[in-house]
Amino acid sequence: MTQHALLETRATRAWLGLIVVLGPVLLVSMDGSILFLAMPRISQALNPTADQALWILDSYGFAVGSLLVAFGNIGDRYGRLRLLMLGATVFGLASAAAAFAPNAELLIAARALMGVAGATLLPSALAVLSELFTDARRRAQAIGIFAAAFAAGFAIGPVLGGVLLERFWWGSVLLINLPVIVLFLGFAPVLLREVRATRTGRVDAISVATSAVGLLLTIYGVKHAAADGLSITAAVAIVAGIAVLAWFGTRQRRLEHPLIDFALFRDRVFTIAVITGLLPLAAWSAAAYLAGIYLQSVLDISVLRAALLALPGAVVLTVTCVVTPMVVERVGKRAILLISHFTIAAGLLLLLPTTITGGLGWYVASTATAGIGYGISFAVVADTAVAAVPPERAGSAGAIAETANELGNALGIALLGSLAAVLFRLHGPDLAPTLDETLQLPTLGATTATDAKSAFLTGMHVATTTAAALHVALGLLAVRWLSGKVRR
């Protein structure tokens, strides 16, 4: 075989490998959002409590976010391809278990197991991808496609879920994972090679446990307070969770190989980039979750129509993610980060004119406008974070950026969703803790139903306005901190 033919064969193998890797990447991101439009159906089928409904959505994101860095280190030591194969297998089995879960408790457990498996896939997929493309230019193109696929998964999750729910039962949105997993397990050993780091530190099991426990205790307390009011149980959980997270942070500063290198946050550019990875995902997930309920339960439109209404925002987000790297070359990263925060804030505020009788146009305008900012954040965060630190710390910086994305997705529903739940409980008819449960009451009158819908809308407006205010604040902070620091 000639040298040219050999290079062509390697290039073909690399691009085929990229296609195979993108399958699990799409699934991991898509499963963070695919249940948004399915929640009314799940509520009818499994009758979860208010906090269980939030955990059905959040258990997945918290498992992924809590373990992402740890599994990145484990893959370095024991092999990325091996971890990819194991993770994909568990992801498929857990998806099947979740699809046929007979109650809310088992669905939460299965979603958490999906999250654990998902945490094995993202860092390993990116490492294997870097091995496939040895040429720097081709590798940059491949990573750009990787980032676009990850963003597209978040965006198309609700749309695909809505299309499936129009014809099938709610579990179908999870069963679609299985064909992708089967194809990956069949082709990955042929097209991908094993990747290991030459030097790695040990994975600190105590750090993994305390980070996960601290997050779960804190969010459990917040959700419990939102659903049932502040109680001793909720207060103890919040205080204990914060204490565990504080001890986790202290421990990281003493370890030779910390799970999260907090010293990186001394760089202002890195800090802004990581927060930009977390906050937009928090705003997007909360707005998508609340808007899904608004469209179906308040405006009483079909799940398919709700999915189609989400499509323009998904298209804008995906296209923006693809074209942003080219725009950055012209305007610089500082300007593009500012555009991201202010367009997200503007998009969220466009939800304020929505009412209990109409507002579909405002909803579409909101998702399309905010989609520009979301797409920018997905495209530039990892690259900005990595570029802000020395080359020998690039791996740690990239892992933290990915973790911020996943935690943002979970925290948005947990915190902003809980804020909306509190306001519904305070302003609603106080017959049930959620809108869907209230509307299912057999003796519910028309006036009470209107009051319940108005209370939900108040919660949605306050939650999205809060997210918009946070984005404006971060944008202003970026103006001050990044002046002259980020050019390209």
**Identity of the amino acid at 392:** E
Are 344 and 283 spatial neighbours (Cβ–Cβ below 8 Å)? Answer: yes
Same domain (yes/no): 233, 328: no
Q: Is the CA virtual torsion 486, 333, 261, 222 positive or negative?
A: positive
Helix and strand numbers (H, E) in the chain are: 18, 0
Same domain (yes/no): 234, 188: no
Are 68 and 119 spatial neighbours (Cβ–Cβ below 8 Å)? Answer: yes
List per-residue pLDDT tens for the chain, 488 residues long. Answer: 565 555 556 667 777 877 888 888 788 778 777 777 778 888 888 888 877 887 887 788 777 766 776 776 676 666 777 888 888 899 999 999 999 999 989 999 999 999 888 888 776 776 676 667 766 566 656 766 777 777 677 777 777 877 787 788 888 888 888 998 998 888 888 777 765 554 455 667 788 788 778 877 887 787 777 666 678 888 898 899 899 988 988 888 887 777 777 777 777 777 777 888 788 888 888 898 898 889 888 998 887 788 788 888 888 887 887 788 778 777 777 778 888 889 999 999 999 999 999 889 999 999 999 999 888 887 777 666 666 666 555 555 666 776 777 677 767 877 888 888 888 888 888 777 778 778 888 877 888 889 999 999 999 999 999 999 999 998 888 777 766 555 44
Same domain (yes/no): 209, 233: yes
Same domain (yes/no): 337, 436: yes
- Estimate the share of the chain in helix, then strand, then coil, as percent rounded to the nearest 5: 80, 0, 20
Are 487 and 332 spatial neighbours (Cβ–Cβ below 8 Å)? Answer: yes
**Identity of the amino acid at 144:** G
DSSP state of 201: P
Same domain (yes/no): 230, 97: no
Q: How far apart are CA 335 and CA 6, in angstroms?
A: 43
CA angle 67, 70, 72 (to 5 degrees): 110
Same domain (yes/no): 307, 397: yes
Q: Which two tokens stand for residue 424?
A: 């519904």
Same domain (yes/no): 157, 223: no
CATH number of the domain enclosing 119: 1.20.1250.20
Q: How far apart are CA 359 and CA 367, in angstroms?
A: 13
Q: Is the CA virtual torsion 210, 120, 376, 463 positive or negative?
A: negative
Q: Which domain holds residue 390?
A: 263-488
Task: Give the count of domains, the chain.
Answer: 3
Segment (H or E) for 323: helix 303-331
Sequence-distant (≥ 6) Cβ neighbours of residue 363 within 8 angstroms = 291, 294, 295, 309, 351, 354
What predicted TM-score, i.e. pTM, was given to this entire model? Answer: 0.73
Same domain (yes/no): 245, 315: no
Q: Which of 184, 200, 216 is the last residue of a domain?
A: 200
Same domain (yes/no): 456, 312: yes
Are 385 and 273 spatial neighbours (Cβ–Cβ below 8 Å)? Answer: yes
**Identity of the amino acid at 439:** L
Q: First CA to last CA across the chain, in angstroms?
A: 42
